[in-house]
A and B are shown apart, each in its own frame.
Chain A
Amino acid sequence: MIEIKNVTKTFGKVVALNNVSFDINDNEILGLLGPNGAGKTTLMRIITGFLIADSGVVKINGKLNSEESLDLKMLIGYLPENNPLYEDMNVYEYLDFIAETRNIKNNKNRIKEVVEICKLNDVLLRNISELSKGYRQRVGFAAAILHDPKILILDEPTAGLDPNQAHEVRQLIKEFKKDKIIILSTHILSEVEEVADKVVIINKGEIIAQGDIEDLHSLVMKKNVIKIAGKFNKDLTEYLPILIKGIYQIKLTSQQDEIKEYEIETEKDVDIREELFEIAVKEKWKLVELHRVSVSLQDIFMELTK
């Protein structure tokens, strides 16, 4: 478990983090979300011990992450932003160096395993400076998971990768999930939706929202949106508000031949789908679609960081 309490960090006059607090439980994947310059990297660096907070504390498994806590460094696997690597080493040399620093027993076998997982076989003896960005990212990831860390911290692991490579990295993260804490920063929202259990959104150094993805949905959504499409013999914008209570607004969003599509906004806690269905049956409307529109994290993000 990682506890972050009232962490503040300034660089000169710039406040990078302002009184940030949250907890991360075991077996949880936390998505750290925010626009560029929000303070994600600073926060991750403080958790890894690379930076020291001006005030506030970070506790990992109840232990204070003070300067030079080598025991805690042993627990953490870290993929820094931009994935810096020793360009003059080949992939095997690099992994061998990391294995040695991590005191891994039987390190040859372990390197072999990780190379399999990260699909690095083809480039094992190539110089790191010659690798493509996708391979470099995999090398960084392999180095971070080499000692099977309890805590894995990944700073923008998919930045700059093409969609296929990004997908592969996400798959690696998911495979690696078992009994670990993973902290993942990104500004790609679908990524967080895909892998994270919990989200913390920071902007300008402050937490503006945190919770499960569903919590965040309800936080932003002050209304419900239902989409209905079909062949109707009446104009719904006039007809429905008379029958159903709690409707804010009905919009005709598209029309193709006889099929019309409406968006119905209602109060947050009202679910009118059942009623709609009964009305449709009574009026013999032919429905082709009836569903609640879910808000994407994108909407939440834009709403919150406006």
Chain B
Amino acid sequence: MRSLSKERILTIFKKEFRLYFNSPIAYIVISIFLVISGFFYSRPLFIQNYATMRHYFDVLPLFLLFFVPAISMKIFSEEYKTGTIEVIYTLPFSKLDIILGKYLSVLTLVCGGIILTLIYPISLFLIGKPDVGMLFSSYLGVIFLCIFFCSIGVFASSVTKNQIVSYIIAFFIMFIFFIIGKMGMFLPQWLYYAGIDFHYDNFVRGIIDIRDIIFFISLAGFFIYLTYVSMSYRIR
């Protein structure tokens, strides 16, 4: 049997998704995310009276810093804590099947939360004429940012049995990439490239650059690789 298969990844994905919605976690976290992000979308809108989401997209990475770890923290930790990792790993799954299935379920749930915010641009179209291209590229930027952040979340969850610790580790790693972007002027140029803002801001400004896409995708790949290493270290 091949060590990677679409069907098996889908099986894990479905299982994780079912578990998210069988417990209250997903509902609570997504609701809180929507309430807070709704507030930060609508406030500048009324103050400035422009049909733009620029301010919203500026603060969104900060929300994701709190939101993504809350979704991802249990994805491996809980399996290690309850011992179900033994069940799942002795079923015919490879490590990569398990990691990718879990990663995709986290990513889908996070993106689900993002998709629910599409109500904001729709409301903009009702009251004004926003720039469609910019909105599209901004949302694309957010998706790539989520692809990156979720890989960090999954990795952080794979190194500990404790969900709180997993949350803190994920938050901390994301925060490093976040703060590097914010402190660009104090840092050497090469380090500034590693920050989120340098790449994310391009999307928000309406520029879709293949280099930025490669940045997010390759870092996501790196953290998924680290997850594989951490899982191999734990199961041996």
User: Which residues of chain A have a CB within 8 Å of any CB of chain B?
Assistant: 45, 48-52, 68, 70-71, 73-74, 76, 78, 80, 82, 84-89, 93, 97-98, 100-102, 143
Please encode chain B, from 6 to 23, with 1 for each CB lying within 8 Å of some chain A CB and 0 for all others: 001001001100110011
Nearest chain A CB to B227 CB, angstrom units: 16
Interface hit among B38-46, B87-95, B185-193:
B87-95
B interface, CB within 8 angstroms of A = 1, 3, 8, 11, 14-15, 18-19, 22-23, 82-84, 86-87, 89-95, 235-236
Interface centre among A48, A49, A50, A143 (most CB of B within 10 A): A50
Docked-complex contact B235 and A51, CB < 8 angstroms: yes
Q: Which residues of A contact B86 (CB under 8 A)?
A: 45, 50, 80, 84
Contacting pair B83 A50 (CB below 8 A): no
| CB-CB under 8 A for A101 and B23, given A68-B94, A84-B82, A84-B86 | no
Q: Which of A70, A89, A98, A102 has the largest count of B CB atoms less than 10 A from its CB?
A: A70
Residue among B1, B86, B89, B94 facing the most chain A CB atoms (10 A cut-off): B86
List, in ascending order, chain B residues with CB within 8 A of A100's CB: 11, 14
Which residue of the partner chain B has the closest CB to A71?
B1
Contact in complex: B83, A80 (CB < 8 Å): yes
Contact residues in B for A102 (Cβ distance below 8 Å): 91-92
Apart from A86-B19, A97-B14: 17 A-B pairs, beta carbons within 8 A: A50-B89, A51-B235, A51-B236, A73-B91, A73-B92, A74-B92, A84-B82, A84-B83, A85-B87, A88-B22, A89-B18, A89-B19, A89-B22, A93-B22, A100-B14, A101-B92, A102-B92
Cβ–Cβ contact A86 & B84, under 8 A? yes
**Docked complex Cα distance between A85 and B19 (Å):** 12
How distant is the Cα of A68 from the Cα of B82 in the complex, in angstroms? Answer: 22
Verify A76–B11 contact, CB threshold 8 A. Answer: no
Residues in chain A near residue B95, CB distance under 8 A: 68
Q: Is the CB–CB distance between A88 and B3 below 8 Å?
A: no
Contact between B11 and A97, CB atoms less than 8 A apart? yes
Q: A101 and B1: CB pair below 8 A?
A: no
CA A76 to CA B91, docked complex, whole Å: 8
Contacting pair A88 B235 (CB below 8 A): no
